[in-house]
Structure 1
Amino acid sequence: MTLTEQLYWGGAALIVLWLVAFGLALAATRNGVVTPGPATQEIGADPEPPGVVSLLGNHWRGVEHAAAATLLDLAARGFVELRQPGNDPARSTVHVTGAGRAAPGLTPYEQRVLDRVTARAVNGGAPIGAIAFRDDKRAAAWNAALRQEIVAEARLRGLSRYRFPLLLSRALMASGFVPGVLFAAAVVMGGHSVRGAVLIGAAPGGALTFLLGKALGERATPKGLERAGHWAGLRAWLTAHEDFPQLPPASVAVWDRYLAYGTALGVTSLTGRLLGFDSGDRRRVWSSYGGTWRPVRIRYPRLRPGFGCSTSGLLQFAAAAGVVAAGLCAFAVLRQPDWTVAAHAQSGGSLRRPGLVLSAGWVGSALLGLVVAGKFRRWTLVLAFLAMMPGNFVSGSHGWFVDAAAHKGPLPVELAAIAAFGALAAYFLALAFLERREPDTITGEVLRMESRKGKRAARFLVLDEGTTDLTTAWALPAASQGIATGAQVRLRVSRGTRTVRSAELVRSAMPEGDRVKAPKQGASS
């Protein structure tokens, strides 16, 4: 065995040893078993906050409903107030009290939740649906920071700890790159380039580090297991109340902190669903633009022809649709019965089968249109081949394809297709003509922004102009910068294609995290 082969086999053996050590570490650091205590309504004199209880109740794997539970706990303690004006719990509102504006001694994650509520309830109150974020990345970052703060609080209370000791995690991470070093040395000794050696050497280290990162997390301490058992007993007591899962958020005035703990433990399904601190409903967003809170319904024109297109793009699509219509028309008019032969008169592999001839004409017209539209891709040929299969496999001297090939003039289905593509070409031409008009100017607040497939595709921009409760998304060019959800903007738009031609910032959005900054001392009013 050569030295190069020894290095390869040595690296492979080290990977196996690393995986064995990793598996043993996982087995040795498994979370303990929570022994539920007896059903009890006792919370205790100094209980853990609901946010920490959500970590214990989820077996140290997550903090689901922790933000909602913390908000309910703040309401039970008098920092915020939840009101339900009617019979619909979704119409409940949240208000910050005088005590909440001072709010001394809150934990970092409690302060984070209170800051979010304060930022939304700037005019005395806000619907609970307005607490949700309008941006996916912003919501993910906020919730990730909330989890870190809850985990830090649980560690401070001696309820949680790192799954792997620091020395063990560092040793596994460092040793994970050793096999790659051996592989890289073997590649160099084999006469290959240094770049190839670096790529091959980094691959096993990256894969093993990824596995290690997925395993890193929290696990219980003995005290944490004991307290988790107590809260499991409270969950059993709350579950025994049949109406408890459907309690609305405003019922915190009656149930006090029990509603917060029930939400943290996953018992109150209705409250946990209504008090969402995620990215919210993308088709229904609460907005206060215009002075009063109201739900705005959103439509996304995903299938609208010409959405977000430029004038040149519209003309290109019009030409493509016209080419398809002209190709189908020419094929239907020029087609003769003698272009095909009966299946029994030729071998099974004849290229003049009725079904194959018809499919070739139709698919060929469509391919010409795709070429003109600039949408021809390598996989297009595969789809074209599959589209011709039904006609290719038809055999016999009777059937729809045989009768259609013998028909003189355009078929009804061809007439319908020609009319459809002709109308589409006229539609694109009309839009291109309308694009020559002066763009309209509108002003409003950006409710949502969503990306679409493809780096060059225009993004969805949802604008609330303050005049209607139903709005349709605009197409914002992918290269546009400086616009964020919550900002007030002035847009110059083309209504035919619903395209944003230019955007001017009127008022910036609230900074990330929605932290409400206190005014500086001595600042002028």
Structure 2
Amino acid sequence: MTLTEQLYWGGAGLIVLWLVGFGLALAATRNGVVAPGPATQEFGADPEPPAVVSLLGNHWRGVEHAAAATLLDLAARGLVELRQPGDDPALSTVHLTGAGRSAPGLTPYEQRVLDRVSSRVADGGAPIGAIAFRDDKRAASWNTALRREIIADARLRGLSRYRFPRLLGSALLTGAFVPGALFAVAAVLGGHGVRAALCAGVAPGAALAYLLGKSLGERATPKGLERAGHWAGLRAWLTAHEDFARLPPASVAVWDRYLAYGTALGVTSLTGRLLGFDSGDRRRVWSSYGGTWRPVRIRYPRLRPGFGGSTSRLLRSATAAGVVAVGLCAFAVLRQPDWMVAVDAHSGGSLRRPGLVLSAGWVGSALLGLVVAGKFSRWTLFLAFLAMMPGNFASGSHGWAGDAATHEGPLPGELVAVAAFGALAAYLLTVACLELREPATVTGEVLRMESRKGKGAARFLALDEGDTDLTTAWALPAASQAIATGAQVRLRVSRGTRTIRSAELVRAAMPEGDRVKAPKQEAPS
């Protein structure tokens, strides 16, 4: 065995040894079993905040509903107020009290939740649905920071710790790249270039490091397991109350901190669902643009022809649709019975079988339209091949192929297709002509921004103009300057394609839940 082969086999053996060691480390650092305590309604002498209880109740794997539980706990402590004006809990509102405007001694995650509420309620109240974020990335960033702050508090309380000790984690991370070093040396000795050596050296280490990173997290301490057992007893006591799971957020005035802990432990399904600190409902967004809070429903015209298209693109698409319509019509009108042969035992391999001839005409018309539209690619040929299969395997003197071969003139399906593509061509041509008009001007607040599939596809921009509870998203070209959610803008738009031609910033977006820095105070003279 050559030295190069020895290095390759040595690297492979080290990978196996690393995986074995990694598996043993996972087994040695797994969480212990939580022994539920007896059902109790007592919190204890020094109870942990509901957010930390959420970590314990989720077996140190997440902090689901921790933000909602924290908000309810702030309400129970009089820092915020939750009101339900009617019978629908979804119409509840959240208000900041005088004590909440200057609350001292809050933990970082409690202050984060309070700041989020403060940024939404302003001087009055706001619907609880308005707490949700309008931007997915901002929501993810906010919740990641919240989780990090909760875990830090749990560690300070001696309830949680790193899953892997630092020495073990460092050893596993370093060992992940040792096999790659052997592979890189072997690649160089084998006559491969530097680029190949780098790939051979980095790829195994990156894969093992990714596997290690996915397993990093928290695990319980002995004290954490004991406290988790106590809170499991509280969960059992709350679960025994059948109506507790359906309590609305405003019932915190009656149930006090029990509602917060019930939400943290996953008992109150209704409250946890309504108090969402995620990206919210993309089709129903609360807006205060215009002076009063109201829900605005958003429509996304995903299947609308010509949406977000330029004049040249519309003309090209109209031409392509017209080509398909003309091609299908010509094929249907000019088709003759002698183009096809009767299907029998001797014509099994003939290219003039009825099903194959019909499929060729229909697929050929579609391919011609794709060529004109500029959508032709190698995958198009593969799809065309699959589309020809039903006609290729059609056999027998009866069936759809045989009936079509004996039919005089265009088939009903062909007439429908010709009419549909003709109407599409006429519609796109009309919209292209309307694009020559002067763009209209609309002003409002950006509710949401939604991406679409495709590198050059226009993004959805939902705008609240303040005079309606229903809005249809506009198409913001992918190359346009970024517009922040929550900003007030003046748009010049083409209504036919709902395309934004230009955008002017009227007022910058307010920070969504960011920490509000206190103004600098001048030193007294």
| Superposition TM-score, scaled by structure 1 size | 0.98
Q: Is the 8 A contact 1:336 1:406 kept in 2?
A: no
1:482 counterpart residue number = 482
1:49 equivalent in structure 2: 49
| Shift in Å, 1:277 | 0.3
Structure-1 residue corresponding to 2:262: 262
Determine helix, strand or coil for the equivalent of 1:298: strand
Structure 1 residue 519 displacement after superposition: 2.8
Instruction: State the shift of 1:374 in Å.
Output: 1.2
Query: In 1, distance between residues paired with 2:487 and 2:346?
Result: 70
After TM superposition, give the deviation of residue 521 of structure 1 in Å.
Answer: 1.9
Give 1:345 deviation, angstroms.
Answer: 6.4
1:220-369 pair list within 5 angstroms: 220-344=220-344, 346-369=346-369
Taking the aligned partners of 2:469 and 2:519, their CA distance within structure 1 comes to: 35
Cα shift at 1:398: 2.5
Indicate the larger mover: 220-229 or 407-416: 407-416
Q: Please state if 1:447 is matched with 2:450.
A: no
> 2:8 touches 2:183 (CA, 8 Å); kept in 1?
yes
> What per-residue deviation string (whole Å, max 9, x for no partner) do you get for residues 321-358 of structure 1?
01001101111121110000001163311110011101
Q: What is the CA–CA distance in structure 2 between the aligned matches of 1:514 and 1:24, rounded to whole Å?
A: 42
Secondary structure of the residue aligned to 1:129 is: helix
Give the Cα–Cα distance (whole angstroms) in 2 for the partners of residues 455 and 96 of structure 1. 43
Instruction: Please list the CA deviations of residues 337-385 of structure 1 after superposition, one character each: whole Å capped at 9, or x if unmatched.
Output: 0000001163311110011101100010001111111112222222212
Post-superposition offset of 1:514: 2.7
Question: How many angstroms does 1:243 deviate by?
Answer: 0.3
Question: Who is 1:118 aligned against?
Answer: 118
Indicate whether 1:184 and 2:184 are aligned.
Answer: yes
Distance 2:512 2:187 in 1: 47
Q: Which residue of 2 aligns with 1:132?
A: 132
Matches within 5 A, 1:169-208: 169-208=169-208
Q: Which residue matches 1:427?
A: 427
| Matching residue's letter, 2:291 | G
Q: Which digits, 9 at most, give the CA deviation of each residue in 1:224-274, with x for residues without a partner?
A: 001000000000000000000000000000000000000000000000000
Two-structure CA RMSD over aligned residues (Å): 1.1
SS of the equivalent of 1:87 reads coil
The residue type paired with residue 501 of structure 2 is: R
* Counterpart AA for 1:213: G
Measure how far apart 1:317 and its partner are.
0.3
Contact 1:119 1:515 (C-alpha < 8 Å) held by counterparts:
no
Q: Which runs of 5+ in 1 are unaligned?
A: none
Which deviations, in whole Å up to 9, do the C-alpha atoms of 1:454-505 show, x marking residues without a partner?
Answer: 1100000000000000000000001112301111111000000000000111
Deviations 1:148-171 (A, max 9, x none): 000000000000000000111011
Which residue type is aligned with residue 244 of structure 2? F
Preserved contact between residue 119 and residue 513 of structure 2 (Cα < 8 Å): no
1:405-416 alignment to 2 at 5 Å? Answer: 405-416=405-416
In the TM superposition, residue 520 of structure 1 has moved relative to its aligned partner by 2.8
Distance 1:355 1:506 in 2: 61
1:516 is displaced (CA, Å) by: 2.5
Q: Distance in 1 between matches of 2:296 and 2:377?
A: 39
Give me the whole-angstrom Cα distance separating, in 2, the residues matched to 1:511 and 1:184: 48
Report the 3-state secondary structure (helix = DSSP H, G, I; strand = E; otherwise coil) of the residue aligned with 2:344.
helix
Please say which of residues 255-264 and 505-514 is displaced more in the overlay. 505-514
Shift of the 512–172 alpha-carbon distance from structure 1 to 2, 3 Å rule, reads: farther
Q: Which runs of 4+ in 1 moved over 6 A?
A: none
Give me the whole-angstrom Cα distance separating, in 1, the residues matched to 2:184 and 2:269: 54
Q: What residue is the counterpart of 2:417 in the other structure?
A: 417
Contact 2:298/2:473 (8 A) holds in 1: yes
CA distance in 1, matches of 2:308, 2:123: 36
Q: 1:111 & 1:281 partners in 2: Cα distance? A: 25
Normalized against structure 2, the TM-score is what? 0.98
* Cα distance in structure 2, aligned partners of 1:45 and 1:445: 49
Distance of 1:211 and 1:303 partners within structure 2: 40
1:142 aligns with 2:142: yes
Structure 1 residue 122: Cα displacement: 0.9
In the alignment, is the contact (CA less than 8 A) between 2:119 and 2:511 conserved in 1? no
| Partners of 2:6 and 2:391 in 1: CA distance | 58
Range moving further from structure 2, 325-334 or 232-241: 325-334
CA displacement at 1:511 relative to structure 2: 3.1
Aligned to 1:219: 219
Q: Which residue of 1 aligns with 2:163?
A: 163
Distance change >3 Å, CA 38–CA 345, structure 1 → 2: closer
Question: Number of paired residues?
Answer: 523
Quote the sequence identity (%): 85
In the alignment, is the contact (CA less than 8 A) between 1:83 and 1:92 conserved in 2? yes
For 1:79, the equivalent position in structure 2 comes to: 79
Amino acid of the residue matched to residue 102 of structure 2? A
Letter in 1 for 2:421: F
Q: Which residue of 1 aligns with 2:372?
A: 372
SS in 2 for 1:461: strand
Q: Look up the equivalent residue of 1:60 and give its one-letter code.
A: W
The CA distance in 1 between the partners of 2:222 and 2:283, in whole Å, is 46
Q: Which residue of 2 aligns with 1:382?
A: 382
Q: How far is 1:509 from its partner?
A: 1.1
Q: Distance in 2 between matches of 1:370 and 1:515?
A: 52
Looking at structure 2, the residues matched to 35 and 401 of structure 1 have their Cα atoms a distance apart, in angstroms, of: 70
Distance 1:481 1:513 in 2: 24
- Per-residue Cα deviation, 1:113-167 (whole angstroms, up to 9, x for no partner): 0000000001311000000001111111100000000000000000000000011
Identify unmatched segments of 5+ residues in structure 2.
none
- The residue that corresponds to 2:25 in the other structure is 25
Give the CA deviation at 1:292: 0.2
Please say if residues 60 and 218 of structure 1, whose CA atoms lie closer than 8 Å, have aligned partners that are also in contact.
Answer: yes
Q: CA deviation at 1:512?
A: 5.7
The one-letter code of the counterpart of 2:56 is L
Does 1:508 pair with 2:508? yes
Structure 2 equivalent of residue 102 of structure 1: 102
How much has 1:223 moved relative to structure 2? 0.5
- Kindly state the Cα deviation for residue 522 of structure 1 after the two structures are TM-superposed: 4.4
Post-superposition offset of 1:410: 1.7
Deviation at 1:86, TM superposition (A): 0.1
3-state SS of 1:226 partner: helix
Specify the alignment match of 2:64 in structure 1.
64
Matched residue SS, 1:343: coil
